[in-house]
Amino acid sequence: MIRYLHKIISVLLVLCCSFTLSQAQLTVIDNVTATQLVNKLVGQGVVTMNPTLVCRSTGSGTFSGTSNLGIDSGIILTTGSAKTNTATFTVGVDAIATQGMSYTGGNTPGDGDLTSIINGSATNNACVLEFDFIPSGDTVRFQYVFGSEEYPEYACSSFNDVFAFLISGPGIVSNIPAIPTKRNIALVPGTNVPIAINTVNPGAGINGNIATCNAIAPGSPFTAYYVDNLIPTANPNIVFDGMTTVLTAIQDVIPCQTYHLKLAIADAVDGALNSGVFLKAGSLMSTPVQTENITGGGGGSNKLHTVRGCNPAVIRYKRLGCDTLQPFTFHLQVSGTAVNGTDYAFIAPTLVVPGGSSTVDLHIQGLLPPLGSNKYVIIGVLHPDSVAAGASIIPILKRDTVYILDSLYVNILTPEQAVCPNTTISITAETDPSLSFSWMPVQYNTGSLTITPTLLTTRDFTITVTQPGAPATCPPRRKTYHALVEQYPIISAPSDTIVCGQDSAVIPVSVYPDSVNYLYNWSPGTGLRATNIGTNFLFRPPGTYPYTITVTTPQAHCVSTHNININVRPPFDLSYVRPQSGTVVPYGTEVDMSAQGAVLYSWFPPGQFYNPDMPVARTLPVLEPATYSVLGIDEYGCKDTATIFLDVKYPLDPIMPNAFTPNGDGKNDVFGLTNAKFQKLLRFEIYNRWGQQVFSTIDPLKGWDGTFEGKGCDQAVYNYIIVVELPNKTIKTYNGTVTLFR
Residue 87's pLDDT is 79
Alpha-carbon distance of 193 to 200, in angstroms, equals 10
Give mean pLDDT, residues 183-207. Answer: 88
Alpha-carbon distance of 522 to 536, in angstroms, equals 9
Q: Dihedral of the CA atoms 463, 467, 473, 478 (nearest 10)?
A: -10
Q: What is the pLDDT of residues 513-572, one digit of tens each?
A: 999 999 999 999 999 999 999 999 999 999 999 999 999 999 999 999 999 999 998 888
Closest CA to 268 of 383, 438, 110, 145: 110
Q: What is the pLDDT of residues 718-732, one digit of tens each?
A: 999 999 888 778 888
Residue 16's pLDDT is 43
Domains 289-405 and 410-485 share a fold: yes
Hey, CA dihedral for 352, 353, 354, 359, is it positive or negative? positive
Distance of CA 482 to the CA centre of its chain: 22
Residue 289's pLDDT is 75
Rounded to the nearest integer, the mean pLDDT of the chain is 89
CATH classification for the domain delimited by 289-405, as one of 3.40.1390.10, 3.40.50.300, 3.60.130.10, 2.60.40.2030: 2.60.40.2030
pLDDT at 740 over 80: yes
In order of 227, 297, 578, 633, the CA distances from 642 in angstroms are 108, 88, 10, 12
Q: Please tell me what DSSP assigns to residue 727.
A: T
Give mean pLDDT, residues 27-48. Answer: 92
Q: Please tell me what DSSP assigns to residue 330.
A: E
Residue 10's pLDDT is 43
CATH class name, domain 575-649 = mainly beta
Give mean pLDDT, residues 700-706. Answer: 88
DSSP 576-624: EEES-TTEEEETTB--EEEEES-SEEEEESGGGBSSTTSSEEEBPPB-S
Closest CA to 403 of 379, 380, 382, 381: 379
Is 638:606 a contact under the CB 8 Å cutoff?
Answer: no
Query: Side chain identity at 143, as an amino acid letter?
Result: Q
Residue 675's pLDDT is 63
Alpha-carbon distance of 278 to 733, in angstroms, equals 134
pLDDT at 20 over 60: no
Residue 394's pLDDT is 83
Helices (H) and strands (E) in the chain, counts: 5, 52
Residue 22's pLDDT is 43
CATH fourth-level superfamily of 490-568: Immunoglobulins (2.60.40.10)
CATH class name, domain 659-740 = mainly beta
Alpha-carbon distance of 711 to 708, in angstroms, equals 5
Alpha-carbon distance of 171 to 138, in angstroms, equals 11
Residue 7's pLDDT is 43
Q: What is the pLDDT of residues 239-297, one digit of tens each?
A: 999 999 999 999 999 888 999 999 999 888 877 788 999 999 998 988 777 788 999 99
Q: What is the CATH number of domain 410-485?
A: 2.60.40.10
| Domain positions in the chain | 2-280, 289-405, 410-485, 490-568, 575-649, 659-740
Q: Is 179 helix (H, G, I), strand (E, B) or coil?
A: coil
In order of 48, 62, 71, 83, the CA distances from 282 in angstroms are 13, 12, 11, 21
Give mean pLDDT, residues 685-705. Answer: 91
Lowest mean pLDDT among 305-309, 321-325, 674-678: 674-678
Residue 17's pLDDT is 42
